[in-house]
């Protein structure tokens, strides 16, 4: 199976990607993994991407696209894959279609993890990080025994800037602007299947696998 996983920040894409790919015995391919592999491997694309990242700039689509094309041509992806973090917009989706056409393959399904903005804010804004050991706690889902103190090492817990509500809501606005057209694009292609991403991780995985089975059948 060849599938794309999409969803807003805080929807649990990384966790679900791991579980779903494992269940389907296909490689999980994320743009972050591809970047790291190319940079650490010293490939020409990796060197080019690193120049942008070192300047604090976004890596251009054409570099990302080339990395994805190389990765999808590898042997382990021939029988299927799960893409997490790519495509992020309609032009990238059109490039993906072209890449797969050249490989004689096609996308089977785009799985959208659906969660409302308030739930995303609750998930992300509730995180607290230990200044000493880096362990992450959550005020609702995994609270420390003593408020503001890490159970593991006794360090001070703090809220990172990117976990503040205003930052999270801005990220959600950006996601909506960039990805809404992508959702519509795949819906028109007849490839989109939504999955309720609220609740325990195992329950979301069960829903996702059921959706995949229904879609393929």
Question: pLDDT tens digits, residue range 62-118?
Answer: 888 999 999 999 999 999 999 998 998 999 999 999 999 999 999 999 999 999 999
Q: Which CATH homologous superfamily contains domain 2-26+79-119+165-216?
A: P-loop containing nucleotide triphosphate hydrolases (3.40.50.300)
So what's the pLDDT on residue 123?
94
* Residues 36-40, mean pLDDT to the nearest whole number: 89
Residue 215 has pLDDT above 80, yes or no: no
Distance CA 118, CA 204 (A): 18
Q: How confident is the model at residue 61 (pLDDT cuts 50, 70, 90)?
A: confident
* Residues 124-135, mean pLDDT to the nearest whole number: 96
Residue 217 has pLDDT above 80, yes or no: no
Q: Token digits for 67?
A: 């990395």
Q: Token digits for 145?
A: 């025994």
N-term to C-term CA, the chain = 12
Q: How far is CA 107 from CA 97, 101, 122, 142, 169, in A?
A: 8, 10, 33, 37, 31
Number of H helices, E strands in the chain: 8, 8
Distance CA 56, CA 19 (A): 32
* Residues 36-54, mean pLDDT to the nearest whole number: 88
Question: pLDDT tens digits, residue range 144-186?
Answer: 999 999 999 999 999 999 899 999 999 999 889 888 899 999 9
Residue-by-residue DSSP string for 133-201: T--EEETTTB--SBTTB-TTT-PBEE--GGGSHHHHHHHHHHHHHHHHHHHHHHHHTT-EEEEE--S-H
| In the chain, where the domains are located | 2-26+79-119+165-216
Q: What mean pLDDT value characterizes the chain? A: 92
Entry pTM: 0.85
Q: Which residues contact 201 (CB under 8 A, 6 or more apart)?
A: 12, 15, 16, 19
Q: Token digits for 64?
A: 């990302």
Backbone angles phi, psi at 103, to 5 degrees: -90, 0
Which is nearest to 141 in space by CA: 28, 1, 12?
12
So what's the pLDDT on residue 71?
94
Q: How confident is the model at residue 57 (pLDDT cuts 50, 70, 90)?
A: confident
Distance CA 8, CA 21 (A): 19
**Sign of the torsion formed by the C-alpha atoms of 5, 179, 31 and 69:** positive
Query: Where in the sequence numbering do the catalytic residues fall?
Result: 13, 88, 127, 160, 171
Question: pLDDT tens digits, residue range 194-213?
Answer: 999 999 999 999 999 999 98
Q: Which residues contact 116 (CB under 8 A, 6 or more apart)?
A: none
């Amino acid at each position: 199976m060849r599938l794309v996983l999409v969803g807003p920040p805080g929807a649990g894409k990384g966790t679900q990607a791991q579980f779903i790919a494992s269940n389907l015995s296909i490689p999980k391919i994320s743009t972050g993994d591809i970047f790291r592999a190319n940079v650490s491997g010293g490939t020409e694309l990796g060197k080019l991407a690193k120049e942008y990242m070192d300047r604090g700039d976004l890596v251009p689509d054409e570099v990302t696209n080339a990395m994805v094309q190389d990765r999808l041509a590898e042997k382990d992806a021939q029988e299927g894959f799960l893409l997490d973090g790519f495509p992020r917009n309609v032009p990238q989706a059109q490039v993906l279609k072209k890449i797969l056409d050249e490989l004689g393959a096609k996308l089977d399904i785009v799985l959208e993890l659906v969660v409302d903005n308030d739930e995303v804010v609750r998930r992300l804004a509730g995180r607290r990080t230990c200044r000493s050991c880096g362990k992450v706690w959550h005020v609702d889902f995994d609270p420390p025994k003593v408020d503001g103190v890490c159970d593991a090492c006794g360090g001070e817990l703090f809220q990172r800037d990117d976990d503040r509500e205003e930052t999270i809501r801005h990220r959600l606005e950006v996601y909506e602007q960039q990805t809404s057209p992508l959702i519509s694009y795949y819906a028109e292609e007849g490839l989109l299947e939504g999955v309720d991403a609220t609740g325990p991780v195992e329950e979301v995985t069960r829903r996702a696998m059921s959706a995949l089975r229904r879609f393929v059948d």
